Amino acid sequence: MSKAGSTGSYDADALGWFGGAGAFGGRFMPEALIAALDELDTAWQGAMADPEFTGEFERLLHEYAAVPSMLYDATRLSEHAGARILLKREDLNHTGAHKIRNVLGQALLTKRMGKTRVIAETGAGQHGVASATAAAYLGLDCTVYMGEVDTERQALNVARMQLLGAEVIPVTSGSRTLKDAINEALRDWVASVDETAYLFGTAAGPHPFPSLVLSFVRGIGDEARQQCLDQYGALPDAVAACVGGGSNAIGLFAGFVDDPEVAIYGFEAGGDGVETGRHAATIFAGTIGVLHGARTYVLQDEDGQTVESHSISAGLDYPGVGPQHSALAAAGRATYLPVTDAEAMDAMSLLARTEGIIPAIESAHAVAGALRVAKERPGQTILVNLSGRGDKDMGTALEYFGLGTAGEKK
């Protein structure tokens, strides 16, 4: 068992720096929140060293969330791709994505710390739904901040959260999307920190969140590595995941980062194409800055003002990225490339028709990227994290593909 929050050779130091002091990560936060972040750090380290906590976490993951997810040999897609594609089926987890792993870990930690309320930010609504689910299961009050634009395009997820007993607060400041939902959740937290835990939705934000979130999602990579060895007797040649904030990706990559023979690919949202400026390819096209408490790649203008990101996938529509990814990119250990909206939607359709699996549009970016990698690596094995299922995206698919009229073959 790896130590808590480990990215193998890419661990944070005591101040939360990845890739050397001052490089990536850190903690750029109001002093009012520092005591809470220190308290969280201490409680988390203690919990991860306590077999009772880790045992309860493992039990919940298994009995409640259907983890470990299966590793599936996608033979029909592979035939199409010209390389062997293995899918890590995180889409089959309870609530439909990898995110349940993170929220169960953080919600259990909240109980352990004696806090009674959780807050969360959400973009597409997946982290909000997962947070509301864990809060319902563990008897915690839950408030979810969601950009007003997102509450409109993801109304179904708003309803799911409400049915689960959470309060959903539409955020009307700034660009009214995920980054503003994070701002508003931080503002809530400054005023409520005594009784409230902030369930951060991705492996980003101030120290210790990137390492803490990784400790709860790294099962993705650890399981996938072992499943590969058990089922196929060898490691894959490459692994691939989509990267918004980057929690599903870092969870997968952590399992392989110390296997130098395994290539690592992260696929960012290329939106309308990086050249149009309407994208969310933070590492590929951004610059180093500080956003939401960490130094990392950011989409920003010349004055350091955050630039709005664009993606057909709400879950990747974020102008920052987790600092571990920035460090892996800077070290050359992982390669980050953009996938456009159109490529992702093609991959969504292809996976549906070849395998009978409808992926989340986020995860379709990883599938599209893997198809590209397959061209460079014919006959090799590429493991893709299918981080979520596409049910939530049917509205977008309906509009994009012009579906929904029976009797008309598309």
Partner 1 sequence: MSTSTAFAKARAEGRAALVGYLPAGFPDVEGSIAALRVMVESGCDVIEIGLPYSDPVMDGPIIQAAAQQALDAGIRTADVLRVVEAVAATGTPTLVMTYWNPVERYGVERFAQDLANAGGAGLITPDLTPDYAPEWIAAADERDLDKVFLVAPSSTDERIALTTAASRGFVYATGIMGVTGTKQATAAGVAPLIARTKALSPKGGADLPVGVGVGVSTGAQAADLAAYADGVIVGSAFVRTLLEHPGDRAAGLAALAALTEELAGGVRA
Residues acting as catalytic residues: 99, 121, 387
Stretch that binds partner 1, among 125-133, 213-221, 239-247, 289-297 (CB under 8 A): 289-297
Among positions 3, 9, 20, 34, the unique one binding partner 1 when judged by CB under 8 A: 34
Specify the 3-state DSSP secondary structure of 264: strand
Taking the alpha carbons of 31, 35, 38, 43 in that order, is the dihedral positive or negative?
Answer: negative
Q: How far is the CB of 196 from partner 1 (least distance, A)?
A: 11
- 116 belongs to the binding site for partner 1 (CB under 8 A): no
- Nearest alpha carbon to residue 224 among 333, 73, 349: 73
Q: How far is the CB of 16 from partner 1 (least distance, A)?
A: 9
- 176 belongs to the binding site for partner 1 (CB under 8 A): no
Cα–Cα distance for residue pair 386/18, rounded to 1 Å: 27
Contact in structure between 81 and 368 (CB atoms under 8 Å): no
For 186-254, strand residue ranges (E) read: 196-198, 238-243
Q: How far is the CB of 11 from partner 1 (least distance, A)?
A: 18
* Helix-helix angle 209-217:219-232, to 10 degrees: 30
Cα–Cα distance for residue pair 347/354, rounded to 1 Å: 10
Contact in structure between 65 and 100 (CB atoms under 8 Å): yes
Cα–Cα distance for residue pair 316/243, rounded to 1 Å: 7
Cα–Cα distance for residue pair 345/384, rounded to 1 Å: 16
Cα–Cα distance for residue pair 3/215, rounded to 1 Å: 8
Cα–Cα distance for residue pair 337/354, rounded to 1 Å: 25
Q: How many residues does the chain have?
A: 410
Structure-token match 């050779």, residue found: 9
Helix (H) or strand (E) holding 368: helix 361-376
Among positions 76, 111, 117, 187, the unique one binding partner 1 when judged by CB under 8 A: 187
Q: How far is the CB of 90 from partner 1 (least distance, A)?
A: 30
Among positions 88, 98, 292, 389, the unique one binding partner 1 when judged by CB under 8 A: 292
The count of residues interacting with partner 1 (CB under 8 A) is: 38
Q: How far is the CB of 24 from partner 1 (least distance, A)?
A: 13
- 402 belongs to the binding site for partner 1 (CB under 8 A): no
Residue 221 or 322 having the CB closest to partner 1: 322
Among positions 3, 15, 231, 399, the unique one binding partner 1 when judged by CB under 8 A: 15
Annotate each residue in 193-232 with x if it binds partner 1 (CB under 8 A) or - if it does not, as one string.
xx--------------------------------------
Q: How far is the CB of 171 from partner 1 (least distance, A)?
A: 11
Among positions 136, 285, 290, 330, the unique one binding partner 1 when judged by CB under 8 A: 290
- 289 belongs to the binding site for partner 1 (CB under 8 A): yes
Among positions 28, 70, 375, 399, the unique one binding partner 1 when judged by CB under 8 A: 28
- 174 belongs to the binding site for partner 1 (CB under 8 A): yes
- 82 belongs to the binding site for partner 1 (CB under 8 A): no
Contact in structure between 352 and 342 (CB atoms under 8 Å): no
**Amino acid, single-letter form, for residue 306:** T
Q: How far is the CB of 26 from partner 1 (least distance, A)?
A: 5
Cα–Cα distance for residue pair 262/296, rounded to 1 Å: 24
Stretch that binds partner 1, among 179-187, 229-237, 265-273, 276-284 (CB under 8 A): 179-187
Distances (CA, A) of 322 to 26, 307, 363: 11, 17, 17
Stretch that binds partner 1, among 49-57, 106-114, 184-192, 401-409 (CB under 8 A): 184-192
- 293 belongs to the binding site for partner 1 (CB under 8 A): yes
- 26 belongs to the binding site for partner 1 (CB under 8 A): yes
- 306 belongs to the binding site for partner 1 (CB under 8 A): yes
Rg, Å, the chain Cα set: 19
Phi, psi of 140 (to 5 degrees): -110, 145
- 36 belongs to the binding site for partner 1 (CB under 8 A): yes
- The four Cα atoms 24, 27, 294, 364 give a dihedral, to 10 degrees, of 100
Q: How far is the CB of 188 from partner 1 (least distance, A)?
A: 9
**Contacts to partner 1 by CB under 8 A:** 15, 22, 26-36, 38, 173-174, 179-180, 183, 186-187, 190-191, 193-194, 289-293, 295, 298, 300, 302-306
